[in-house]
Amino acid sequence: MKILFGVQGTGNGHISRSRELVRKLKSDGHDVEVILSGRKEEELKEIEIFEPYRVMKGMTLVTYKGKLNYVDTMFRLDLISLLSDILMLDTDGTDLIITDFEPITSMAAKLKNIPSMGFGHQYAFQYDIPISRGTIFEKYALLNFAPARYNAGLHWNHFNQPIFPPVIPETLYALHTVSVVKEKVLVYLPFEEAEDISLFLNPFTGFEFYIYGKVTEALDEGHLHFRPYSREGFLGDLMECNGVVCNAGFELPGEALHLGKKLLLRPLDGQIEQQSNALGMVELGYGMAMDSLDGSVLADWLQKPGREPLRYARTVDYIAEWIGCGHWEELPKYTAAAWAEKI
């Protein structure tokens, strides 16, 4: 099957989960071409598995101090470039378009009447799962930013809906090879400012915080260890840590739950998906959430015990099998099988 695969490049989570599915689809013999959008090519890391790929401008979300800035987001939107990319996209011979919340491929599929499939956490919100109240605009954007005809939604729990478990990198199935360090905490707060993170964590000298994404070179300041983003280093610290403090995205909390790490989420203000994730995390009893960098909440969370691993299935195997069978209306058969698998 010839597949055009769109990846939203603005978040490492989109790239991480799409990397796993693209690798599986290629190993199954499909011809996969990848479009990445939303970030400059020089800012994209470890995307070799996507070759052959193309990078397009797409749409980029603008944030500052933990809050989504809608005005700057709209100001930076280049509609002429976006429409040009959609109209000029070569889809000749394409059997299926898969979009991981990527608007160019989503819109091209609709315009050219090509079967399309949404892959990712955002597509779980098509079903009855926890969702923040938000505004009408926020809900509309979440459900219509990059729509598709069929949906392979992902979530930490099935909520009795036809959605898949999270996509876990193959590296994280080797649990027996890494010992947990009780005082080690992984921190990933890409929407916060570095100085705010330092002030937040500095009082807790009894713990070692490994903070990713705020520096270009490794920097150690006492118990605060700043690290540039490296997939290998990040996953290694994730396996070794006792807990994770992060924004309320989807992939990293899912990986932490898989490994049995306790979680403290700080959702991005004004972002309904992250607000909904924090709501779902608390409702499930899987972790805690805070509305700001709140030291009192952190102090309470640091004293909490660890949790048992959820050990999710190899989700991409089931999604790839569903894609390959061609009977896409049989989605519940494959989602049920994924949740039934015991790792």
Structural domain includes residue 264: yes
Residues 213, 197, single domain; the answer is yes
Residues 225, 295, single domain; the answer is yes
Residues 26, 143, single domain; the answer is yes
- Tokens 């892959």 found at: 119
Residues 76, 204, single domain; the answer is no
Structural domain includes residue 307: no
Cα-to-chain-centroid distance, residue 246: 12
Residues 78, 26, single domain; the answer is yes
Residues 14, 162, single domain; the answer is yes
CB-based burial label for 42 (10 Å; 0-12, 13-18, 19+)? exposed
Structural domain includes residue 273: yes
Phi, psi of 155 (to 5 degrees): -160, 165
Phi, psi of 46 (to 5 degrees): 50, 60
Residues 45, 152, single domain; the answer is yes
Q: Mind listing the pLDDT tens digit of every residue in the chain (343 residues)?
A: 999 999 998 877 889 899 999 999 999 999 999 999 988 877 787 788 999 899 988 766 655 554 555 555 655 666 777 788 888 898 999 999 999 999 999 999 999 999 999 999 999 999 999 999 877 877 887 888 899 999 999 999 999 999 999 999 888 887 556 789 999 999 999 889 999 999 999 999 999 999 998 888 999 999 999 999 888 899 999 999 999 999 999 999 999 999 999 999 999 888 899 999 999 999 999 999 999 999 999 999 999 998 899 999 999 999 999 999 999 999 999 999 999 987 6
d(CA 106, CA 146) in angstroms, rounded, equals: 5
Residues 95, 148, single domain; the answer is yes
Q: What's the structural domain count of the chain?
A: 2
Residues 267, 297, single domain; the answer is yes
H-helix or E-strand containing 211? strand 208-212
How far CA 125 is from CA of 13, 247, 283, in Å, comes to 17, 19, 16
Structural domain includes residue 47: yes
Domain enclosing residue 25, as ranges: 2-166+313-340
Residues 38, 154, single domain; the answer is yes
Structural domain includes residue 226: yes
E runs forming strands in 1-129: 2-8, 31-37, 53-56, 63-64, 67-68, 96-100, 116-120
Please state whether the peptide bond connecting residue 147 to the residue before it is cis, i.e. omega within 30 degrees of 0. no
Residues 136, 184, single domain; the answer is no
Q: Are 178 and 240 in contact (CB under 8 A)?
A: yes
Phi, psi of 308 (to 5 degrees): -80, 140
Structural domain includes residue 308: no
CATH of the domain at 203: 3.40.50.2000
Residues 215, 329, single domain; the answer is no
d(CA 21, CA 26) in angstroms, rounded, equals: 9
With residues binned 3-state (H G I as helix, E B as strand, rest as coil), the percentages for the chain, rounded to 5, are: 40, 20, 40
